[in-house]
Structure 1
Amino acid sequence: MMTRHCTDFWVFGYGSLMWNPGFAFEEAVPAVLDGYYRSFCIYSHHYRGTPARPGLVLGLNEGGQCSGLGFRIAPDQVSAVQDYLRERELIGYAYREATLPLALRDGRTCDAYTFVADPTHGQYAGELGLERSAELIMDAVGCAGLNRDYLIQTVRRLEAHGFHDPHLFALLREVEIRTGTIEAGSGI
């Protein structure tokens, strides 16, 4: 399949933006970002946790590959969307803005505006491992709701687009075991 580069303004969503973008867009297309992977690597003190009981939210770490959605933004909405996303995503400043090459499932490539994890920030958790991540996620709640709902919605959206993220599926399974939703040793 021949690829063609698109010149419109695109946003790459890999977490809550996939199921709750909060902005107007012209189209949403499944996409893959090379060079970064999705990880529960940022402590949330606002949306999905508090300073006393932090949650975890997703960030993009360097290396690997990440599936998600590319959102094409109308030219007259670019400034408003960027302002909205800066207010939403930079609340704790644990992210950095980036424009990165994105491969859309339909064969187009584009440069996409997104947010990557800032490993120098105090809210950067890094890789905590499956058990510690599940422990934080199952107990945390912030102004946007339960931290585990953020995980569940992200996994559901990935499944809806035919993506499989083994790490997120394993994390969801661990949270479900801890909450008694499923038994250890059973299939999902």
Structure 2
Amino acid sequence: MDEFWVFGYGSLMWNPGFKSHRRVHARLSGYHRSLCIRSFVHRGTAEAPGLVLGLDRGGFCEGLAFAVKGNDEDTVMAYLRERELVTNVYRELVLPVRLPSGEHVPAVCYVVDRAHAQYAGAVDVEKAATIVKNAHGQAGPNRDYVLNTARHLREMDIEDAALEAVAALLTNEDPRPVKRNSGA
């Protein structure tokens, strides 16, 4: 079947916004999920930036791979570029992701551009929680984005200790015990 793959690691997992004919757990090596991008539009403002997820160098990331029919490629890619490349903080790359079968497939991935002004780098858990608590953008409170993502990761049985720690500070709960490392 003529198809292409898209790798989701944040809101694309629970709100892809495009049709796929298959979605499976997948693992990307060499990058990890990180609250490393200052959001000036969707989850913050230029005066009070929020933090959103990016794929940053090192480790690995567990997420979802979406198989999209080849005849939908132009439509899906136009949608993803409009959604993900608003300020060009992401670089669109095609990287190999490993499917549960062990097969590696090339997938469209959005990786943070470390040279971009919105790149926040490694933000410690306490500082991240403070930033997230105080940020609000066009898409709503930054807190909602982080808590939604953490909840969806739990529902999909995907561990992310760093995101769980931030979520715990946002809800004043203990983070859930971690079984495996997300590479972050």
TM-score normalised by structure 1 residue count: 0.89
Cα deviations by residue, 1:8-67 (Å, 9 ceiling, x for unpaired): 300000001011111111111111111100100000011111111110000011110001
Question: Hey, what's the Cα distance between the residues in 1 that align with 2:101 and 2:153?
Answer: 17
Cα pair 1:7 1:110 within 8 Å, conserved = no
Question: Hey, what's the Cα distance between the residues in 2 that align with 1:149 and 1:90?
Answer: 22
> 1:170 aligned to 165, 179, 183, which one?
165
Deviation at 1:109, TM superposition (A): 1.9
Gaps of 5+ in 2: 177-184
Share of identical aligned residues, percent? Answer: 45
Cα pair 2:31 2:55 within 8 Å, conserved = yes
For the pair shown, which has the larger CA radius of gyration, 1 or 2?
Answer: 1
> For residue 81 of structure 2, what is the aligned residue in structure 1?
86
Cα deviations by residue, 1:129-155 (Å, 9 ceiling, x for unpaired): 111111111111111111111111111
Question: Hey, what's the Cα distance between the residues in 2 that align with 1:187 and 1:118?
Answer: 29
> For residue 128 of structure 2, what is the aligned residue in structure 1?
133
Question: Hey, what's the Cα distance between the residues in 2 that align with 1:187 and 1:91?
Answer: 32
C-alpha distance 162-106 of structure 1, shift in aligned 2 (>3 A): farther
Gaps of 5+ in 1: 1-5
> For residue 46 of structure 2, what is the aligned residue in structure 1?
51
TM-score normalised by structure 2 residue count: 0.91
> For residue 153 of structure 1, what is the aligned residue in structure 2?
148
Q: Quick check: 66-75 or 147-156, which moved more?
A: 147-156
| Aligned-partner residue type, residue 50 of structure 1 | T
Question: Hey, what's the Cα distance between the residues in 1 that align with 2:111 and 2:48?
Answer: 23
